[in-house]
Chains A and B, each alone.
Chain A
Amino acid sequence: MLHTVNKSPFQANALLSCLRVVKKGSAILLIEDGVYGALVGTKATPTIQEAMKNSKVYALAPDLEARGIQDNVLKGVKTIDYGGFVDLVAEYDTVQAWL
């Protein structure tokens, strides 16, 4: 299953709620303001590091770049473009959007 998260972890509980019910082997894609969850040195960093033990974590590059944070991405978070987003949706059976 693919989970998309589009909220900043500092503003909403979307990421935390997602992580509560994410199954081992799932993928989490951070988009829109969700990409702030992909950064190093924030209060949310340990949370996403923990999530990366069980799930693959991706962040949408165009959204990182738009926000000027493309150089601050945590190691192990894979950055992808919209084509990569499409591939993820195709790869996993279902998509849950954490809005």
Chain B
Amino acid sequence: MSDEMMEDEGTIKKFGYVNRKAPYGTVYALESLEVVLIGAAFDQDVSVIFMDDGVYQLKKGQDTKASGMKNFSPTYRALEGYDVEKLYVEKESMDIRGLSTDDLIVPVEVKSSEEIMQIMEDQDIILSF
């Protein structure tokens, strides 16, 4: 099996982050974003997938003043500056939740479930949140 071969120091792997949780109710969305930011420094081939309630992470207009939590949604807009440009959102997850790309804080690629399947299959490593 090819994956048992020794990796070179400079090997670039495909890192897929799968975000399926809504923000604020639990910490997973925030701490996932922290991994993506740190991971960007490692020059890997990064894809970030949003599905299920994870699509709510990208909702425009988040205002946490009254809830007292940290609004981390602007950070998604900074991802491009870290060369994290492959943001994928599953269409079905958006449709179920009545969302369209106009509702999202960053430009994303909307993908069918079938396409998300292929993107996941293409990854070397998947970090699930």
Contacts and interface: CB of A to CB of B under 8 A. Distances in A.
Contacts of A97: 126, 128
A20 B52 CA distance: 11
Contact of A98 (B3, B124, B128): B128
B51 A17 contact: yes
Given A13-B52, A99-B128, A94 B113 contact: no
B104 interface: no
A95 to B, nearest CB: 7
B116 A94 contact: no
B45 interface: no
B117 A23 contact: yes
A93 B117 contact: no
Q: By DSSP majority rule, is chain A's interface helix, strand, loop, or mixed?
A: loop
Interface in A1-55: 1, 13, 17, 20-23
Which range contains the number of B residues in contact with the other chain? 20 to 34
B126 to A, nearest CB: 5
A20 B92 contact: yes
A72 interface: no
B101 interface: no
Interface of B: 3, 18, 20, 51-52, 90, 92, 113-114, 116-118, 120-121, 123-126, 128-129
The 10 closest A-B pairs by CB, nearest first: A21-B117, A97-B128, A20-B113, A96-B126, A21-B116, A21-B113, A23-B117, A17-B52, A94-B126, A23-B121
Given A94-B125, A99-B20, 16 more contacts: A1-B120, A1-B121, A13-B52, A20-B92, A20-B113, A21-B51, A21-B117, A21-B120, A23-B117, A93-B3, A94-B123, A96-B18, A96-B120, A96-B126, A98-B128, A99-B128
